[in-house]
Amino acid sequence: MITRKVWELVDLPTNKTIIGSKCFYNIKHDEKNKPKKYKASIIVRWNRVQLDVKSAYLYGKLNEKVYLKHPPGFIVKDAESKVHLLHKALYGLHQSGRSCNCELDHILKNLKFDKLLLSNCLYKNKDVILVIYVDGIIVFGKTLNEINKTIALVKSKLDLTELGPEKYLLGVNFEMNKDLFMHQKTYIEKLMIKFKELPKSNVNLPNKLGSKLPEKIEEKDIVENELMSKFPYRSLTSCLSFLADRTRPDISFSVNLMSQFSNGYTFKYWKIVIDIMNYVFKTKDYKINRSNVKNSNLTCYTDANWGCNLTNRHSTSGYLIKFGDVIFTWRSSKQKCIALSSMESEFVALC
């Protein structure tokens, strides 16, 4: 950078915007995967702002005629016999979500944003990237000036609330200090309040080592007592699945396994789910580091057992994919086919 005269030190001129920077470290490997070059780069750090579209569904236009009764307590003098003809979408209509998204897509395209073909939630123009999810928008830009111009442009068409840099989105916490961390401590603390009377257990792992489930659940064993009714099995597993899919790969296998018994479970199965929930409560501070990219290698780990389900002989697959040292996707799932050997089970896991 010095040789090529990339920069020089100057005083910041009046009315000029300064953008952020960050150091990026990478390791180049040879054909034998041995380090051959250590590289350090200085990169421009993009700014970002989170936006919320107020009453987003009310922007969606209806193509059908929908008639609505007066809401309770809503009185129009001398019009008690009339009904409401809807022109815009309301929460509760099956087409409301699509109508809202179509209108938002139309607005952004008129503002010269292009939608990425491989990801319908991403829009971009020359200087800015928008990430859309229902009524939430995150704006990425090289400078705050570009972001503010974009916000003003979108505000001319939509009623927006500016929330600043994203800290909490879709049940996930974002912490940006030196590195970017993702976790769900806020969501877990909500679960701790919701399930505050949950039976307590001191567990250090999602599943106990060596624990085995019965080969077959007998009809007579499916009995729900008062305590089990208070904390429904499906409610517990759905909350755990929300965590496992977003920030908790450590519980992915256990939650996937126990979710398979939602239509028929015993007290023993219910108690295992309770243990997983208590483990989550105990480890609520666990975080995923999204900035630990020491190299640009894409690495996939996969594994499978063979015929672990003794009732139907289905195997279970699991995979984890990393970019550098950052985990960005994972999954544990029951295989759809029945593998005839451990080799076949491993091969199916790779697919």
pLDDT in tens, 173-209: 988 877 888 999 999 999 999 998 888 888 888 887 6
Tokens of 326: 């950052």
* pLDDT (0 to 100) of residue 20: 59
* pLDDT (0 to 100) of residue 56: 83
% pLDDT > 70, the chain: 82
* pLDDT (0 to 100) of residue 187: 93
* Short-list 107, 121, 130, CA closest to 60: 107
Q: 117 with 24: CB under 8 angstroms?
A: no
* pLDDT (0 to 100) of residue 215: 55
C-alpha–C-alpha distance, residues 21 and 6, integer Å:
14
* pLDDT (0 to 100) of residue 330: 93
* Short-list 337, 287, 292, 300, CA closest to 316: 337
* pLDDT (0 to 100) of residue 31: 46
Q: Is 192 exposed, middle or buried (0-12, 13-18, 19+ CB in 10 A)?
A: middle
The DSSP string of 48-111 is: EEEEEETTGGGGPEEEEEEEEPPPTT---TT-TT--EEEEE--TT-TTHHHHHHHHHHHHHHHT
Domain boundaries, the chain: 7-22+47-166, 185-283, 292-350
Tokens of 301: 């780990």
* pLDDT (0 to 100) of residue 286: 93
Low-confidence ranges of the chain (pLDDT < 50): 31
C-alpha–C-alpha distance, residues 278 and 251, integer Å:
12
